[in-house]
Amino acid sequence: AQIGILFWAGLEWNPAETLTNVLFLCPLQKFLSSGESKSARCDDLQSLKDRQCPEDKIENPRGAIVIDKDTPVTNRKKDSKEKLKPEEITQIQPQKLTLTLRSGEPQTFSLKFKRAEDYPIDLYYLMDLSFSMKDDLENVKNLGTDLMAEMEKITTDFRIGFGSFVEKTVMPYISTTPARLINPCTGNQNCTSPFSYKNVLKLTDKGDEFNRLVSQQQISGNLDSPEGGFDAIMQVAVCEEQIGWRNVTRLLVFSTDAGFHFAGDGKLGGIVLPNDGKCHLENNMYTMSHYYDYPSIAHLVQKLSDHNIQTIFAVTDDFQPVYKELQNLIPKSAVGTLSSNSSNVIKLIIDAYNSLSSEVILENSRLPEGLSITYKSICKNGVEGTGENGRKCSNISIGDEVSFQISVESQKCPSHGKSEVIKIKPLGFTEEVEVVLKFICDCECSAEGELNSQRCHEGNGTFECGACKCNAGRIGRLCECSKDEVRTEDLDANCRKDNGTDICSNNGDCVCGTCECKKRENPKEVYSGTYCECDNFNCDRSNNKLCGGHGVCECRKCICDANYTGSACDCSLDHSTCLAKNGQICNGRGTCECGICKCTDAKFQGPTCELCPTCPGVCAEHKDCVQCRAFDAGEKKETCERDCSYFQLITVKDSSKLPQPTDQIFPLTHCKERDANDCWFYFTYAIRNSTKEVYVVEKLECPPGPDIIPIVAGVVAGIVLIGLALLLIWKLLMIIHDRREFAKFEKEKMNAKWDTGENPIYKSAVTTVVNPKYEGK
């Protein structure tokens, strides 16, 4: 029987933590009940125990990890006299493991990586030799010796090679006129014939040889701006023998001042065949550029990864954005800004190498179907990463050691064979870890199977793990039926309940006249019964829980736990949830049904009928009755004996004698009310053991009467003061008015002007008569 489990585990297994989640197998012959399928033998440990399967018989095979090769990482210094071959240097540990996997159970192992000092480096310089790179070629001619001098600071084992590219040698990428095929440049420029890719110098440790051969190179030319660099990169990657790659750090420097053609662009030249990703160098020249299209980016990524090549794009500032996007698609690649004449190429290479070598990224080969792998990185200074970040560590210096926790999990057994192999390696490095996978697909008891057992109806099957595995042509739980001798209609009749039409209640298959119930996706949900008419998941639910979470479902009916009842076990018989603070059930205002108070009066609400939003309040409700019984007054004075005998009245001398809430274990309300004479009276209302008690202060608190003399004196004094104030105000206003009028008069007097002329019609009223006789004596 195939086994599935549902828990996470690593190298170590803690049974106390996982026993409740694992599916175990019970191999006892009489373990299954009527209608149960063979898969019902698999269940969690406690369920199997509850069904009387002895613990020592329960099957539970475990996965395992075996380290087959575990060579320690290399520890050596650059100035060490001991010179190791590349294959003798180890940077990753372990190198080979064997994992035994059980479905659903991960196996976790640790992988260690350490950058070795003085690790060999192969660098291939691939240069665009179109006409726009003319001045760059002059600066590259001395690159060999200069770069080797710089790289000696990093490694004592350094090799360098050189290649160049232009474009496909067909229209419209180049001019195919005879003259332009000889010299594609215009004017007096002397250029070499156009070509796709040329391997000028395979990898060598002789820098002067690099300088000599590069000095002999000539610029060529083409028509369009994008170049055929992808063709060249593909050939550099796949032509390992011609390039001279070793199993060491491989760097490819791609130098250009233009963009690139990619898959599909070849159609412009009538080239439709996809790039085959194979080596086509003859005499160090790429001969199939006119036959195969440019490679796609994905194709390049695959080949660069397969051959462990790290790419450095040395491009001018104008094309930085384009190659930055390309860098995001090609793992373990870098982009540097190339000056207009390539004068900074050595610094660019050193910086890019340091950037690439300071990061390790793990990748794995293609996984078999149903297998998953997760990574967790433990990087420098204990920094941890998970998910995609779990595959890589950054800022690693030479000599730094980092580790990875790798978990491999299988969800099912492979369809062919019982072993697989996957490989895990750091990008850009030739070393890898080989992981051999073996799968547990059968229980241990299957190896002890009894062939042609008499327990399987006269030897018609193999008895293994408590059940019969029928021979060809036989069916039934005990292999008691033959497919050729029995009519299906006769067998089906035994699988219909009450001569109905449904075979096995549509929940199973009729096998040899016996129902074998179907298996659900959820292993905890099962069909059972002779006709598969029962199940344990179709019972009533409450709060979205089967049987309210307070019972078990058996044959579509809830079997409730103690203190619960109802079709969904949603009715609690426990009345503790209905008890109010005063110890009464529902405050005496309702009944407790299924642990919930049902208030008899609709005006009461709350978990224990303690709230009454529409009630006037305890104080206002009992005010009139307290007033009539304690003081023989109020609105209910005439009907007091009839309406107000429902409580026990207790009088106290003053309010300090009233009961206090902190002294009581039952609810207590303090009240202060006013009567028709504006007198206050104080009382408390409480319910003690179903008895309503009212404590009331025996004396009313009435306000004192008014003092008449001060009031009259105050009124008279107020009137007098108001009169005097009004007189003063009037006097003040008159003074102001008079002063304004006098000022106005004085102003007009000063501005007056008198005319001294006489009125011509004026006649004086005086007549003067002179005596003629008067002589003035």
Helix (H) or strand (E) segment spanning residue 512: none
Instruction: Say yes or no: 662 and 684 in one domain.
Output: yes
Question: Strands 481-482, 508-511: parallel, antiparallel or unpaired by DSSP?
Answer: unpaired
Helix (H, G, I), strand (E, B) or coil at 551: strand
- For residue 446, being part of any structural domain is answered with no
Inter-residue contact 516 to 544 (CB < 8 Å): no
| Both tokens assigned to 686 | 């409480």
For 557, other C-beta atoms within 10 Å of its C-beta total 15
Tell me how far apart the alpha carbons of residues 505 and 482 are, in angstroms, rounded to a whole number: 24
pLDDT at 21: 46
For 706, other C-beta atoms within 10 Å of its C-beta total 7
Dihedral through CA 232, CA 234, CA 235, CA 236, nearest 10?
A: 80
Tell me how far apart the alpha carbons of residues 115 and 396 are, in angstroms, rounded to a whole number: 8
Tell me how far apart the alpha carbons of residues 305 and 327 are, in angstroms, rounded to a whole number: 14
pLDDT at 755: 59
Last residue in a domain, options 323, 357, 391: 357
- For residue 389, being part of any structural domain is answered with yes
Task: Give CA separation, 740 vs 643, 737, 747, 751, in Å.
Answer: 81, 5, 11, 17
Which of 234, 229, 280, 288 has its CA nearest to residue 257?
229
Which residues, 6+ apart, have CB-to-CB distance to 167 below 8 Å? 130, 173, 174, 194, 196, 222, 224, 227, 228
- For residue 490, being part of any structural domain is answered with no
Instruction: Say yes or no: 247 and 131 in one domain.
Output: yes
pLDDT at 52: 76
Instruction: Say yes or no: 210 and 241 in one domain.
Output: yes
Tell me how far apart the alpha carbons of residues 418 and 199 are, in angstroms, rounded to a whole number: 46
| Both tokens assigned to 721 | 């003061």
pLDDT at 523: 72
For 501, other C-beta atoms within 10 Å of its C-beta total 6
Last residue in a domain, options 646, 672, 697: 697
- Domain of 548, CATH number, reads 2.10.25.10
Tell me how far apart the alpha carbons of residues 435 and 425 are, in angstroms, rounded to a whole number: 11
- For residue 493, being part of any structural domain is answered with no
Angle, CA 83 vertex, CA 78 and CA 85 arms, to 5°: 115
- Phi/psi class of residue 308: alpha, beta or left (left: φ > 0; alpha: ψ in -120 to 50)? left
Buried residues in 202-241 as b, exposed as e (16+ CB within 10 A): bbbeebeebbebbeebebbbbebebbbbbbbbbbbbbbee
| Both tokens assigned to 626 | 């307290």
Instruction: Say yes or no: 353 and 435 in one domain.
Output: no
DSSP assignment string, 377-400: EE-GGG-EEEGGGGGEE-SPPTT-
Inter-residue contact 529 to 34 (CB < 8 Å): yes
Tell me how far apart the alpha carbons of residues 577 and 592 are, in angstroms, rounded to a whole number: 9
Which residues, 6+ apart, have CB-to-CB distance to 473 below 8 Å? 482, 483, 484
591: β partners: 598
Instruction: Say yes or no: 376 and 281 in one domain.
Output: no
CA 172 to chain centre: 51
Helix (H, G, I), strand (E, B) or coil at 299: helix
SS (H, E, C) 65-133: EEEEECCCCCCCCCCCCCCCCHHHCCCEECCEEEEEEECCECEEEEEEEECCCCCCEEEEEEEECCHHH
Total count of domains within the chain: 4
Helix (H, G, I), strand (E, B) or coil at 31: coil
Helix (H) or strand (E) segment spanning residue 559: strand 557-560
Instruction: Say yes or no: 548 and 691 in one domain.
Output: no
pLDDT at 301: 93
| Both tokens assigned to 261 | 């053609």
Tell me how far apart the alpha carbons of residues 536 and 470 are, in angstroms, rounded to a whole number: 30
Which residues, 6+ apart, have CB-to-CB distance to 775 below 8 Å? none
pTM more than 0.75: no
Task: Give CA separation, 281 vs 235, 265, 554, in Å.
Answer: 8, 22, 76
Instruction: Say yes or no: 550 and 676 in one domain.
Output: no
CA 33 to chain centre: 44
Tell me how far apart the alpha carbons of residues 69 and 333 are, in angstroms, rounded to a whole number: 31
Question: Strands 42-43, 24-25: parallel, antiparallel or unpaired by DSSP?
Answer: antiparallel
Task: Label residue 190 exposed, middle or buried (CB < 10 Å: 0-12, 13-18, 19+).
Answer: exposed
* One-letter amino acid for residue 629 of the chain: R
Tokens 């979470």, residue located: 549
Inter-residue contact 114 to 91 (CB < 8 Å): yes
- For residue 449, being part of any structural domain is answered with no
Q: What is the pLDDT of residues 657-688, one digit of tens each?
A: 888 866 666 667 888 888 888 888 888 888 77
- For residue 309, being part of any structural domain is answered with yes
Last residue in a domain, options 392, 413, 440: 440
Which of 447, 451, 476 has its CA nearest to residue 461?
451
Inter-residue contact 289 to 196 (CB < 8 Å): yes
Task: Give CA separation, 559 vs 450, 570, 596, in Å.
Answer: 41, 12, 22
Tell me how far apart the alpha carbons of residues 172 and 143 are, in angstroms, rounded to a whole number: 33
Helix (H) or strand (E) segment spanning residue 152: none
- For residue 173, being part of any structural domain is answered with yes
Inter-residue contact 271 to 292 (CB < 8 Å): yes
Helix (H, G, I), strand (E, B) or coil at 680: strand
pLDDT at 732: 93
DSSP 8-state assignment for residue 612: -
Helix (H) or strand (E) segment spanning residue 43: strand 42-43
- Domain of 69, CATH number, reads 2.60.40.1510
Instruction: Say yes or no: 145 and 216 in one domain.
Output: yes
Instruction: Say yes or no: 286 and 422 in one domain.
Output: no
Instruction: Say yes or no: 109 and 136 in one domain.
Output: no
pLDDT at 450: 82
- Domain of 624, CATH number, reads 4.10.1240.30
Tell me how far apart the alpha carbons of residues 460 and 479 are, in angstroms, rounded to a whole number: 6
- Phi/psi class of residue 118: alpha, beta or left (left: φ > 0; alpha: ψ in -120 to 50)? left
pLDDT at 11: 28
Residues of the chain with pLDDT under 50: 1-21
Sheet-wide strand order for 285-286: 281-282, 285-286, 197-204, 158-165, 121-128, 249-256, 309-315, 333-337
- Domain that includes residue 209, residue range: 121-357
pLDDT at 35: 55
Helix (H) or strand (E) segment spanning residue 324: helix 320-329
Tokens 């292993």, residue located: 523
Instruction: Say yes or no: 258 and 291 in one domain.
Output: yes
Buried residues in 327-346 as b, exposed as e (16+ CB within 10 A): beebbbbbbbebeeebebbb
pLDDT at 436: 93
Which of 553, 611, 608, 555 has its CA nearest to residue 583?
608
Instruction: Say yes or no: 103 and 179 in one domain.
Output: no
Terminal alpha carbon distance of the chain = 184
* One-letter amino acid for residue 446 of the chain: S
Inter-residue contact 413 to 406 (CB < 8 Å): no
Inter-residue contact 5 to 104 (CB < 8 Å): yes
- Domain of 283, CATH number, reads 3.40.50.410
- Count the helices and strands in the chain (H runs, E runs): 15, 41
- For residue 83, being part of any structural domain is answered with yes
